[in-house]
Amino acid sequence: MKGLIQRVSHACVSVAGEEVGAIDKGVLLLLGIEKGDSRQSADKLLHKVLNYRIFPDEEDRMNLSLLNTGGGLLVVSQFTLVADTRKGMRPGFSKGASPEQGEQLYRYFADEATKRLSRVATGRFGANMQILLENDGPVTFLLEASPEE
């Protein structure tokens, strides 16, 4: 399971012109789910997302996490994160989870996040989405978690 996190001042996601999720200061998470991922993978990645220290402290050092700051989390499914781009000029998606497994783990991830944070918003799984964000920094990290870790 892969998560591309971006520290944002604000972010929103829309489907067909309708805003379906938005946050102010916090983290935009683009979530990629691979074959073999499980609830255990989701739990490990969620722990990393919530505790990764990417927010500035009083000395402007990245020492605070999303849990420390009480910011929002916007979770958007992004199957292209798990694409194989090593060969050729077209991405391969054979590593990606099936749509059924992907949606199940995406919903599980969002539900678990909601239990730990007061502000969680989501996109719409499988939809063509438009995301507007103001990346703060910019600060962007690729996090990964697997059941074997």
- Residue pLDDT, tens place only, 116-149: 999 999 999 999 999 999 999 999 999 999 866 5
Residue ranges with strand state E in 16-126: 18-23, 26-32, 55-56, 62-64, 72-77, 120-122
- Global pTM? 0.95
pLDDT at 146: 81
Catalytic annotation, residues: 78-80
Domains of the chain, first to last? 2-138 (3.50.80.10)
Compute the distance between CA of residue 35 and CA of residue 20 in angstroms, rounded to an integer.
27
